[in-house]
Structures are given as structure tokens and as C-alpha cells.
Amino acid sequence: MAHQPTGITLHQESRLLEISFADDGAFSLPYEYLRVHSPSAEVKGHFPGEEILQVGKMNVGIKDVAPSGSYALQITFDDGHDSGIFTWEYLHELGSRQSEIWNAYLEKMAAAGESREPKR
């Protein structure tokens, strides 16, 4: 049990999930950032190299969050994606390496010629 969160707040208007940890730090994670980095096999694939780039999720919302055991959070996004189980460890990583991970995502998206804008 490395990282134990003490509080989780969903800001539905600004689409930010705020999470604070007992040991180190608090992070503000945009819903889009969480959605495109969902740990689900639908996003990560079953093996490295199988990742599917998630695009057009700029305005994604969160419908529901449910605890999974005492170790993780299952997030239901309003685009129907609900199979990602975000462990405390993973949320902490997403928080502490936010800019690095986010920039890598933007680069990948640019390389693929895709956009954050929702597709019509």
C-alpha cells in the first residue's frame, strides 16, 4: 500500500478530478486526461504495442465513480467507457508525471493527424 488517497472530489463543471494522497501531494486530473489514459484493455490493449490511441475526448464527462475493493476506482465516462479500473498507484503516477504523460499523448496525436476535438 504505497499511496493511500485521503479525498477525491469530482468537479463536474470544470471536468477535473481532484485527488489528494496521505503521503505525498494532491493532483488535479482532467477527465479527458483520465479517459485517454484509461487502464482498460480497450485502451491499453492486452499487450504492449496494442495500445489504441484515444482521440476526440476533449469534452468527455464522468457519469459515475465506484470503489473497486479498497484499492481502486472504477470510472464510468459519459461516452460509455467504463472498463477502466484506476488503482491508487496508477492515479498517483498519472498525477506525478502529468505533464510528461500529457505531452507524450499530444505528440502521438499530432503524429497520427488526429485531434482532441470531438468527431462529428
Partner 1 sequence: MSMNEADVQNALKNLIDPNTKKDFVSGKSVKNIKVSGNEVTLDILLGYPAKSVWAEIQTLVEGHLKATLSGVGSVKASVSSKVVPHAVQRGVKLVDGVKNIIAIASGKGGVGKSTTAVNLALALAAEGARVGVMDADIYGPSQPTMLGISGQPDSDDGKTMKPMTNHGLQVMSIGFLVDADTPMIWRGPMATQALDQLLRQTKWDNLDYLIVDLPPGTGDIQLSLAQTVPVTGSVIVTTPQDIALLDARKGLMMFEKVDVKIIGIVENMSTHICSNCGHEEHIFGAGGGEKMCAEYNVEFLGGLPLDIRIREQSDAGTPTVVAEPDSNLTKVYKQIARRVAVKIADMAQDHSAVFPKIVVKNT
Q: Give the interface with partner 1 as residue ranges (CB under 8 A).
A: 1, 4-14, 19, 22, 65-72, 87-88
Please identify, using beta-carbon distances, which residue of 10 and 109 lies nearer to partner 1: 10
Please identify, using beta-carbon distances, which residue of 7 and 107 lies nearer to partner 1: 7
CB of 109 to partner 1, least distance (A): 28
Burial class (CB in 10 A: 0-12, 13-18, 19+), 52: exposed
Please identify, using beta-carbon distances, which residue of 87 and 98 lies nearer to partner 1: 87
CB of 92 to partner 1, least distance (A): 13
Please, what sign has the CA dihedral across residues 31, 21, 83, 70?
A: negative
CA dihedral 102, 45, 81, 64 (to 10 degrees): -70
